[in-house]
Structure 1
Amino acid sequence: MSIPAAREKFRSFLTQKGLRATNQRLAIFDAAFAQREHFTAEQLLDYAREIDDSVSRATVYRTLPIMTESALLREVDIGSGEKFYRPNREGAGSQVAQVVCLDCDKIFEISAPFMQWYGSTVSSKLGLTPVSQRLQVSARCDQFQKTGVCPRRG
């Protein structure tokens, strides 16, 4: 999905929810969609304030669930107590698996089209319809295990 199409989807979703497309919300959207890596709410606050210094922490924390519900952002919980987000450029319904490197704390996403089949298959056996699913793998860096240096660590 292109950024202009995603921005329009965001505006429409806000209108559907009875919310206004304020400058702060649009700055948050722009900051989120400028990212190529996963980010936290606090990082998004910093990125959004570079665009509009009036963006408040409260608005970021209220906007993230809206962007997640609209499928514009993917929320990732790796069990660290902090949630991570990433723009969903592939659109709703795209199936990805997350691989979390335990050595560098980096989150990788790979396409996993088999997940739709798997979710439907196991759910239908129980007479259920899947609503959401996720696959997350925790892994160790082979290079780090051998040399003590992780090439992905920033």
Structure 2
Amino acid sequence: MTENETTEIDLENPRETFQQFLTSKGLRVTNQRIAIFDAAYGADDHYTAEDLLDRSRRIDASVSRATVYRSLPILVESSLIREVDVGLDNKYYLANRESRTFQAQVIDADNDKIYEVDAPFMEWYGKTVCERLGMEPIAMRLQVTARKSIAKSEKV
């Protein structure tokens, strides 16, 4: 699943949805995987794999780095977590709590903070261009790297 694909997922009980997903893939539901899921889905911000490792270990100290790195693609495939590649050293992840419109990312160049911004026009544009070419979009991404303007930051 790529950054802005939408899919129908059950958000009423995300932990149960994740457990069912694991079972459907023939994977075991372990305490470590559930701790990683809880840390990943419970986050309100973007995080890296290393951030997730720290957060997961606060829930279950036995979580290993390898388990986190093996679990991230599974979490992304489940559609409960989104992978956000902003072209920096690390990939970032974000809980996918709701079916939403296309999201653009604005990356603050001064502190690498990522802002998610609704950009429904991009979804329309991508679909329209692909349709004209007889194609169907499978992934779209809009990212802007910016910094606060001097005039703007003086007003703050």
- Indicate whether the TM-score tops 0.5: yes
Distance change (3 Å), C-alpha of 1:24 and 1:143: farther
Native 8 Å contact 1:2 1:89 kept in 2: no
d(CA) in 1 for partners of 2:28, 2:150: 49
Cα distance, 1:138 vs structure 2: 0.9
Structure 1: which 5+ runs fail to align?
none
Alignment deviations for residues 51-87 of structure 1 (CA, whole Å, 9 cap, x no partner): 0011111110011111111211111112112111110
d(CA) in 2 for partners of 1:144, 1:90: 36
SS in 2 for 1:97: strand
Residue in structure 1 matched with residue 140 of structure 2 by the alignment: 133
Matched, 1:29 2:26: no
Distance change (3 Å), C-alpha of 1:50 and 1:143: farther
d(CA) in 2 for partners of 1:57, 1:44: 9
Aligned length, in residue pairs: 147
- Among 33, 45, 48, the alignment partner of 1:40 is 48
Moved more, 48-57 or 114-123: 114-123
The alignment's C-alpha RMSD in Å is: 2.2
Distance change (3 Å), C-alpha of 1:113 and 1:48: same
TM-score normalized by the length of structure 1: 0.85
- Among 104, 116, 135, the alignment partner of 1:109 is 116
Q: How does 1:1-154 map to 2 (within 5 A)?
A: 5-91=13-99, 94-142=101-149, 146=153
Cα distance, 1:33 vs structure 2: 1.8
Percent of counterpart pairs with the same letter?
Answer: 55
TM-score normalized by the length of structure 2: 0.84
Structure 2: which 5+ runs fail to align?
1-8
